[in-house]
Structure 1
Amino acid sequence: MFELINSYIDSLALFLAILFIQGMSFRKIRQYRPNWFQNGNRRLFLSILLGVYYGLAGIYFIYEGAYENNPVIYTNMRILILMVTSVFGGRVPLIFAYLVMLFGRISFDITSPITSRYIILMTLIFAACLLITFWKKQRFSRFVALIILNFPALLYYFVNNFDQGRILRGFEILEYFLLFFVTALLVFYACNYIDKSNLVIQNLTETAMTDSLTNLPNMRFFTQQFAWIFAKAQKRKKALSLFIIDIDHFKEINDFHGHQAGNTVLAQFSSILKNRTFPPRTMFARIGGEEFAVLLQNVDTAQAALIADFFREEIERAKFPYNPVSGKVTVSIGVASASSNFATTESLFEAADQALYQAKQNGRNQIAVHQGELE
């Protein structure tokens, strides 16, 4: 019994390490590639990647079970992998984890009758896990339901001579099942803890990186992403253009109508900015007061100037509930492009800022494109 518990502890520790690595990896992906979790194709890719990852973990347990004294333990770990993947990952990761594990088992020993029994076992477990993904209940309820649904499959495993050893009897079956139940609960709570921790960190990060009034990224997030996008554009020799937008005479709105009116204008302006059709992978941010930045990938200076002017005209046509005393709500836009071989993000930002200053000096409600190169 003591040896059995030690084997369970070792396998459980390994399982928890697998969960921890996956949790940390997805946290980093969410930090540096947040759009991957919104884009449909990228989300599908991540789901497939998650399934393959747990499938490979299952293959590891297959080989461990073949050479250890307690193959039942490692088979239970494979079962838990499918259960965890279905409850926390969903159908796509579950299907890929099952297929990878199936391939691993077949490649290990395709001719043995034991392999066919394992395939039957894992297919029964997979069917129960797939069924539970359609049940719209809380995770814990689905996980407990899976334990109950998988009881016949576990019993089938315990009373059959899978590993050319002895068949489990009476108390041993109860012993292994209780250990499986306890391990399953520990794994569930570990997964739940990792998932909730990642969610809390994600929410805190989004709060720290998001402007509360406009729900746009703030200057801190923009600076981080700008550096990464700029380096990628320089490395691949791709065009990168930057707008800096300033709402004209915004101080008049605050002074005449009050700061709440100014906030209303900022919120409406941000909504127009987010809902307008920009080229793919365009990034927006509120960088301070009434100033906004728009970063366009794979867009050269000429294209950027056209897009900026179309947006300026759209703002000019829009109806705002509050206007400055001097007229309608309009914007001035400074445009600069990294195709001019700017050496740093600071130099590109300074170029766009100088162009914005020029647009305001020339009378506002217009765009200005930075001319020449700023080293």
Structure 2
Amino acid sequence: MPNILDSLWNSMALFLSALFFHGMALRSIREKKPAWFQIKFANEIINYALGVYYGLLGVYFIIRGLPGMDSGIYTDMLLNILIVLHLFSSAGPATIALILIVTGKLLLGDALFANFIYVFLIIGFHFICMEVAKLRLSSVQKVVLVKLTAIPLMLFYLHQKIHLAYTLDSLPVWILYFAVSFFITFIIISASYYIDTSNKLIYDLQQSTILDPLTGLTNFRHFEKAFEAAFNYATLKKSNLSVIIIDIDYFKRVNDTYGHLAGNGVLSTFSQMLLKISFPPNTVISRIGGEEFAIILPNIAVSETEHLAEKIRRKVEKIDVPIVASGSIITISAGIANYDGSNYSSANDLLHAADQALYNAKRNGRNQVHIRETEPVI
């Protein structure tokens, strides 16, 4: 029995180490590539990579449980892998992990008949986890339920693997094993919950520092960093970089006439409209002032930028706004400046050029797009 308990604790330590590296990797990705978690395809790739990661961990546990490698029962962790993936990810990654585990069990196991029975049982356990994950129960209730359903599988496994007899004399050993197994599973689930929750809280905190709470767009602080980085990259690659600055026409009049709540409604509605437009990859949309917005567009020509700005201007005239009942129509003015890799010496110069173009659009009657003519650097 001491050997069984030792292997349980050792396998738990390995599992917790795997959870730690998993958490650190996701945190790093969230910091460096936050958009990946908002793009469906990229998010699925991350999830399936987790399935492969834990599937390979399961294969490692299978190897450690082979005769001559370890006298214990590392396979208990295979069930915990499926539990964690079903509760904290989804059925897809859990299925990937299951396929790797089943393959490893059939290829590496020493008793073919017993392995086929084990594979049949663990596949059944996988589908049980899938259904339990859908139930409206607390995480604790779900864990208890799936662990109870795992008892038949473990009864079979322990009897086959370490020849634990089905006798009354062995009953205390069975009870002690299942008690320790339940305890270890709850430790692993608690660690998974802590890592998952802390990562999401850190991400939300980071997002709160770069997002404008009213519009959901990035704020001026983030815009400055993103714009400087985009300009440096365009300079390095000698590529195009366009920036559009948008101002909602006569917005002060909206606030004075209809109140700040109506003004906030206009800002929110306009922002949601922007988010629904299909922009090129790596576009950054920010609110940089009260009613002023900026769009960073890497790697596109000035003609395409003008087309997008005109598209936005036309859409604004047609959108429903909180003050539409009064017959008011919201319009915008936009200024565009384009960097071709050499015509501006700094990001500030490019931004100033776009701001001048916006000023010209407003001076010429508003509700129009103006392009700042390229001025070569002297």
* TM-score, reference length from structure 2: 0.84
Tell me how large the CA RMSD over aligned residues is: 3.1
Q: Which ranges in structure 2 are unaligned for 5 or more consecutive residues? A: none
Sort the Cα spacing of 1:315 and 1:121 in 2 relative to 1 into closer, same or farther, 3 A: closer
User: Which residue is 1:177 aligned to?
Assistant: 178
Distance 1:131 1:40 in 2: 24
Report the CA distance between 1:122 and its aligned residue. Answer: 2.9
Aligned to 1:152: 152
Contact 2:106 2:112 in 1 (8 A): no
Q: Secondary structure at the match of 2:65?
A: helix
Aligned partner of 1:249 in structure 2 is 250
What residue number does 2:297 align with? 296
Measure the CA separation in 2 of the matches of 1:319 and 1:80: 51
Q: Which residue of 2 aligns with 1:58?
A: 58
User: 1:321/1:55 Cα in 2 relative to 1: closer, same or farther (>3 Å)?
Assistant: closer
Q: 1:121 to 1:231 in 2, by over 3 A?
A: farther
Residue type of the partner of 1:77? M
What corresponds to 2:336 in structure 1?
Answer: 335
Which residue in the other structure is 1:358 paired with? 360
Mapping for residues 217-236 of structure 1, pairs under 5 Å: 217-226=218-227
Separation (CA, whole Å) in 2 of partners of 1:276 and 1:322? 23
Matches within 5 A, 1:82-93: 82-93=82-93
Q: 1: CA distance between counterparts of 2:40 and 2:159?
A: 45
Alignment of 1:97-136 (within 5 A): 97-109=97-109, 112-113=112-113, 115-136=115-136
1:309 aligns with 2:310: yes
Corresponding position: 1:167 with 2:176: no
The worse-fitting range, judged by mean Cα deviation, of 180-189 and 363-372 is 363-372
Distance (Å, rounded) in 1 between the aligned partners of 2:49 and 2:370: 45
1:138 aligns with 2:138: yes
Contact 1:247 1:291 in 2 (8 A): yes
Asked whether the 8 Å contact 2:215–2:268 carries over to 1, the reply is: yes
User: TM-score, normalising length from structure 1?
Assistant: 0.84
Mapped partners of 1:116, 1:343: distance in 2: 69
Matched, 1:189 2:197: no
Q: Secondary structure at the match of 1:292?
A: strand
CA deviations 1:287-340 (Å, max 9, x no partner) are: 1211101233543211111111222233345565559xxx95432212133444
* Matched position secondary structure for 1:159: helix
SS in 2 for 1:364: coil
- For 2:351, the equivalent position in structure 1 comes to 349
Q: Is the 8 A contact 1:340 1:373 kept in 2?
A: no
| Residue aligned with 2:370, SS | strand
- Given that 1:158 and 1:173 are in contact with CA atoms closer than 8 Å, whether structure 2 keeps it comes out as no
* Structure 1 pair 275–121 and aligned structure 2 pair: CA distance change class (3 A): closer
Which amino acid counterpart does residue 46 of structure 2 have in structure 1? Answer: L
Distance 1:322 1:152 in 2: 65
Amino acid at match of 2:303: A
Aligned to 2:13: 13
- Map Cα deviations across residues 150-206 of structure 1 (whole Å, 9 max, x no partner): 11111111111x3xx543543322222111111011111111122222232233233
Asked if the contact 1:348–1:374 (Cα under 8 Å) also holds between the matched residues in 2, the reply is no
After superposition, the Cα gap between the structure-2 partners of 1:223 and 1:127, relative to the gap in structure 1 and judged at 3 Å, is: same
C-alpha displacement of 1:221: 3.3
Identity %: 35
Relative to structure 1, is the Cα distance of residues 111 and 150 closer, same or farther in structure 2, using a 3 angstrom cutoff?
closer
Q: Distance in 1 between the 2:290 and 2:142 partners?
A: 48
Q: Once the two structures are superposed, what CA deviation does each residue of 1:197-237 show, in whole Å capped at 9, x if it has no partner?
A: 22322332333222122222222333444456666666777
Structure 1 gap ranges (5+): none
Q: Could you report, residue by residue, the CA deviation over 1:317-372 in whole angstroms, capped at 9, with x for unpaired residues?
A: 5565559xxx9543221213344456765454344233323333444332222332
